[in-house]
Every structure is written in C-alpha cells, then in structure tokens.
Chains A and B, each alone.
Chain A
Amino acid sequence: MTHILAIESSCDETAAAVVACGGGFDVKSNVIASQIDLHRRYGGVVPEIASRMHIEAVTGVTEQALKEACLTFDGIDAVAVTYAPGLVGALLVGVGYAKSLAFALKKPLLAVHHIEAHIAANYIASPELKPPFVCLVASGGHATVALARDYAEYDVLAVTRDDAPGEAFDKIARVLGLGYPGGPAVQEAAKNGRTDAFVFPRVYFDGAMDFSFSGVKTAVINTIHNYAQKNLPIPLPDIAASFQYAVCDVLSERLVACAVRAGVKSIALAGGVASNHLLRELSQVRAKEAGLNFYCPPPVLCTDNAAMTAVRGYFEFVAKKFAKTDLNAVATLSISV
C-alpha cells in the first residue's frame, strides 16, 4: 500500500487527508477545516481572509490527519497538493507547505489539478468505476464537463461562458435574502415550491455544449423586480424551486448529451453542487433513460477535501511524475491533456 498525505487549500476549506492507495482507496483520514462562518457575513469568500486562515489552519489540520490515520510523517510515501486552479493566495499556502514538507521528509511531491481531484473522488466512492466516463464538475467556481479518457488523461467537453452554477446559486440566494452559501439555502427554500411555477431560460449554443447561467440569473432578478414593483409578496419558494430546476435541468441534460456524444457507458458528478438533491435525481433519471451507469460521491467527497487530492496524486505517483520544488500555484488553468 502507498500512503499519500494530501493538502488542499484552493478556496475556503483547509483540508488534509491520508489515503492508502493500491488495490482500491482506503481513506484513513479526511480532515476539513471550513471557513464558511468567517465568510458568511461577506456573502462569499474573501481571499485575504482565506489565505490568512489557511496559514493558521494548515499545520493543525495536517497533524490531525496523520493522527487519525495512526501514522507519523515517516509512514508517508508521498505528499500531494492542489496547485491549480483556485484563489492564488489560498493555493500558495498549501503549495508552500507541501513543498517544504516533501523537501524536509525527502518524499516525492505530487502536483494535483483541483478539477481532476474532484473527478477522482468518484474512485473512492465507486471502486467499480473505470475510465472512460464523462463527469460534470459543478461548484462555486467551476462548471466543467470532462471526458476521463484514463486516470490521468482528460478532455474538456464543456465549460461555463459566464457564471459557475454555485455562483449563480450564491447570487440568487443573495437577492432572495437567503444567506450564504447559496446552494443549500436555495435547496431548502425550494422544498415547498413548484418547479414549474416559472419557466426560466435555458441557454444553448450552436455547435458547443457550453453552459451559460447569467441569463437565468437575470430572469430570476427580473421576476423578483416585477413582484416588488407591483407591491406583491414575492413567491420565494416557487422562485427558488423554478430557478433550481432550470439550473439542474441544463446541467444534467448537457452531462448526458456529452456522454452520448463521447460514446461512453458511464456518467459521474463531482464538486460542491453535486450535493444538490435535484441535480443528483435528474442526472440519475436521465442516465437511466440513456442506458448509462450513474455515479456520484457522497457530499463529504463532493465538497473540497484532500482525500480526492490524494487519489488524483496517486496516479501521478504511479506514473512517477514528481513535481519539483519550483512548483507554483496557478489561479486559472485548464484541465490537463
């Protein structure tokens, strides 16, 4: 067994995990220190606060991960770290820490792309899943449909041309006064609403599978304005339900369409928005209709975590692709080829 210690700090979670890899993935520990409470009053992640909190948390979180795995640094075979994409100041904390650790311990350093790590979370939850498959990674900062050709080879099939889905949820929650983070808040508000109360627009592009969520966002805001102007009470549950349906409808439809076009047998979800119940349900139903297998990690592996980073890092370890000490954080980086 290969024990990978992984560090993840691309946004507002400081995470460390130890995963025993080889013949499956055994998550020995998966520690996440969330900063959500700190960012809530700003309605989103504040980069400077995020970076400072990562610095304060990273050592403790790593020690906790080792302790829970009943290991010391000597028992680690390699150090994996998320180096892109994300908030550059936040990423730098994890990258700097992991580099020093690898150097001091004389262990290989494994550089991991955050989106690929999200996809790899599926290997933990579903050991039977093997490439090729098509995965939707949907979160606060990302919307990518990727073809996993192999464990370390990906093609991007679709991206968002404006807002990420989680960002759309955050912005609509802000307008509806539901608080941050927007995903769970909108989902909760939608429980007692009708999904067909309003038909919000779905955007399609000629010849591309890309997403656009700014149109649906504007349409929701227009609806709210129209009620406000007429001094009518805003039907919050109906708006939340119809908005959530519009977003999940497009995401699941496009995921399945990409899979059919790519000719694969399986689809998967990943990223924070993959915790959304409706997205899971619609994707599962559509997968079944199209004769595809459907996979989705549990919520703890959908949110940012380091167990997924360890798993993606393991494939680099196997390929002996070790990062050097000049590894740097990169804010914007497409998925590797």
Chain B
Amino acid sequence: MKHLISQSEKDTFEIGSDIGRVLKAGGVVAVCGELGSGKTVLSKGIAAAFGIGGVHSPTFTLVNEYHGEMSIYHFDAYRIDTQGWTDSGFDEYLFGDGVCIIEWADNVGGILPENTVWVHISRGGGDDFRTITIEGEGF
C-alpha cells in the first residue's frame, strides 16, 4: 500500500499519471473520495499516461469512453449500486481490453475484480491538501 500527499491539483494529476503508467489492459482503478476531492483530476492523470486528453466528468452519462493507445472507460457510480451496475451491462467493460476508472467505486465495490487498484482521496490540513492511498496489484 502507498500513502501519498497531494498539495495541489497538479500533484493529484501526476499521482494519477503514475498510477496509469503501471496499468495494463484489463486494469481497473476504483477511486473513492468526497465531492470536490479530485477524483476526476486523478482520472485525467491516469488517462494522460496513455496520451489521452479531453477527459471530462462522467456524471451525466455515467460512462465516457476514450480510445487511444489504450481504451479508457471512465465511470461515475454515484447514482448506481451493484444491481444498477450489472443491469447497465457495465460488467462487460471490466473484463475487456481497456482500463476502467470508476469514481464513487464504494457503491459497487462488492463486484469489482480482484486486480482492482483502490485509490482513496481524503481532505485535511488546508484547502488543497489531500492524502491519497493506493492499494492493489503493483502498489
């Protein structure tokens, strides 16, 4: 398990890129943290490790797909549970050819595969200060 400190949006982005660099096809990253903690920024960093830009919030559509040197599937699970996840056919993404990034993954934690990398972002000690813990394969 890794404990990291982020003091800025840029730090969070780069931690995301570091995570992205060790991910392979079929990788899953579960991102947890309250509203405004930097989940989407971290996701942008992960995508950037694969040369993918233009990543934006998946809140409205629940999943955004990006295709580059790696396919990135970016989810927002805030409004769904494991049943909703399965009903929406999202399982198919998990065992596919790309990398899945799941924000609010706590809501669907029970059904994520064993190789899932869990990232927890928490606030504390100043507006921009974040503690980021990473656990899972490769960390």
Contacts and interface: CB of A to CB of B under 8 A. Distances in A.
Interface of A: 42-48, 85-89, 140-142, 160-164, 167, 171, 174-175, 214-215, 217-222, 225-226, 331-332
A175 B35 contact: yes
12 contacts: A45-B60, A47-B88, A161-B56, A162-B56, A164-B57, A164-B60, A171-B36, A214-B40, A214-B57, A217-B35, A217-B36, A332-B61
Interface stretch (B16-24, B78-86, B109-117): B78-86
Contacts of B62: 47, 87
Nearest to A217: B36
B36 A162 contact: no
Contacts of A215: 9
B87 A48 contact: yes
Contact of A141 (B9, B61, B63, B79): B61
**Most chain B beta-carbon neighbours within 10 Å: one of A45, A47, A160:** A47
Contacts, number: 76
B59 A42 contact: no
A48 B9 CA distance: 34
B59 A163 contact: yes
Interface in B24-69: 34-36, 38, 40-41, 54, 56-57, 59-65
A141 B107 CA distance: 22
A37 to B, nearest CB: 15
Q: Which 5 A-B pairs have the closest CB atoms?
A: A141-B60, A221-B36, A218-B36, A222-B127, A163-B57
Contacts of B88: 47-48, 89
A331 B58 CA distance: 11
B65 A167 contact: no
